[in-house]
A and B are shown apart, each in its own frame.
Chain A
Amino acid sequence: MSARPGGPPRSEVTAGIVDSLPLGLALTPVGLAFGYLAYTVGLSWWLAGLMSAVVYAGPSQFIAAGLVSTGAGTPVIVATTFVANLRYSLFAASLAPHMRDAPRGRLPFVSHAVADGSYAVTLDHALARPERPRKDQYLLGSFLMSFAAWVGGTMLGALAGGVVPAAIAFGLAFATPAIFIAFLVPYIRDRVAVVVMLTAGIGTVAGNEFLPPGAGPLLAIVGASVLGGALLSRPTPR
């Protein structure tokens, strides 16, 4: 398909949708799980779906539902959400350099698409195919697939409740680590990458044990990235 002058190159949107199919498959069970959790803490199916649509940030929604069940107030929930989602600022900083040919007016809308999965898929595409135009369109396509899976899964989960057999649910809950293992493995090419991975991974696990919810991943990602950057900037090469 050729791009009309001034018009969006549709094939990039389609490419984003198609490449995000595995992501959609992985996100659906997570959506089901969140919908069920939202149902158990008293949210209706449409409110749970609305939350997934407008917040569109899985981990923080799980944390918020947990906080609701412990009777936490709105300020605590909002502040925790902000801290938990600050990593999207890092994702935005990492992905934005690939968006230079996007129309400026579109960027504020596409920023809503910056979430863990679409970030991974789009960055992968941007690094592998730098010559392709309009990564914002690709990101939009990835978003459409993720959004449908996440919001659809949420509403189904809230409506259907815990109807999934335990063994299947146990396996589906592993879909998230599994897909991010697939995203992570290609990046592990040298010793610094291993150090960054272990620092961020172990740091997050420790942070989840000892820090307020959402703070662990943020601090671990920042710390590990700065450490990795510093190691690579050393005067003597590895």
Chain B
Amino acid sequence: MAAVTYLTRLPLWILVSRRPRPHPRLERVIEQIPIAAFAAIVFPGVLQPGGSTDLDPSNLYLYAALVTVAVAVASKRRVLPTIAAGTLTAVLLRLLFGP
């Protein structure tokens, strides 16, 4: 597992760091990677909390996510208040409405 994971990290890391700027078209694709990557973590984290899709209103992470987005916007991208608000909201919702 360690070896194949290292293989996923190394080749492009070395290759791209030694090259001049890529073609503008490719550069525009590369610029989208963070957006796509973070969405690929957030969406399943909220919509598939136990591993299977849960779009039911009883999925408390849906509300915690809304609060987190609001705090992220309001705090102007400050990470610490955002995760603190999100995590505390999830704990409180669970205490109030959880099983």
- Determine which of A25, A85, A91, A96 lies in contact with B37 in the assembled complex, contact meaning CB atoms within 8 Å: A91
Q: What's the least CB distance linking A121 to chain B, in Å?
A: 8
Is A92 in the interface zone, CB < 8 Å from B? yes
Bitwise interface map of B from 3 to 46 toward A, beta carbon under 8 Å scored 1, else 0: 01111111111111110010011101111111111111111111
A183 touches B17 (CB 8 A): no
In residues 72-96 of chain B, which contact A (Cβ within 8 Å)?
72-73, 77-80, 82-83, 85-92, 94-95
Inter-chain contacts of B80 with A (CB < 8 A): 21-22, 25
- Determine which of B5, B17, B30, B44 lies in contact with A88 in the assembled complex, contact meaning CB atoms within 8 Å: B5
- Determine which of A94, A186, A202 lies in contact with B30 in the assembled complex, contact meaning CB atoms within 8 Å: A94
B90 touches A111 (CB 8 A): no
Chain A CB within 10 A, most for which of B25, B40, B83, B90: B40
Q: What's the least CB distance linking A40 to chain B, in Å?
A: 15
B4 touches A82 (CB 8 A): yes
Inter-chain contacts of A60 with B (CB < 8 A): 1, 5
Q: A82-B8, A177-B86, A181-B86 are in contact. Are A196 and B39 (CB under 8 A)?
A: yes
Q: Is the interface of A mostly helix, strand, loop or mixed?
A: helix
- Determine which of A57, A64, A201, A225 lies in contact with B33 in the assembled complex, contact meaning CB atoms within 8 Å: A225
A-B contacts, CB under 8 A, total: 270
- Determine which of B1, B11, B65, B68 lies in contact with A55 in the assembled complex, contact meaning CB atoms within 8 Å: B1
B47 touches A205 (CB 8 A): yes
Question: How distant is the Cα of A226 from the Cα of B33 in the complex, in angstroms?
Answer: 9
For A113, give the chain B residue with the smallest CB separation.
B9
- Determine which of B37, B48, B72 lies in contact with A116 in the assembled complex, contact meaning CB atoms within 8 Å: B37
Top 5 A-B pairs ranked by shortest CB distance?
A178-B86, A201-B43, A229-B29, A171-B91, A177-B45
Residues of chain B having any CB pair with chain A under 8 Å: 1-2, 4-18, 21, 24-26, 28-49, 51-53, 60-61, 64-65, 68-69, 72-73, 77-80, 82-83, 85-92, 94-95, 98
Residues of chain A having any CB pair with chain B under 8 Å: 21-23, 25-26, 51, 54-57, 60-61, 64, 77-78, 81-82, 85-97, 99-100, 102, 104, 107-108, 111-112, 114, 116, 119-120, 123, 166-168, 170-188, 192-193, 196-205, 208-209, 217, 220-222, 224-230, 232-233
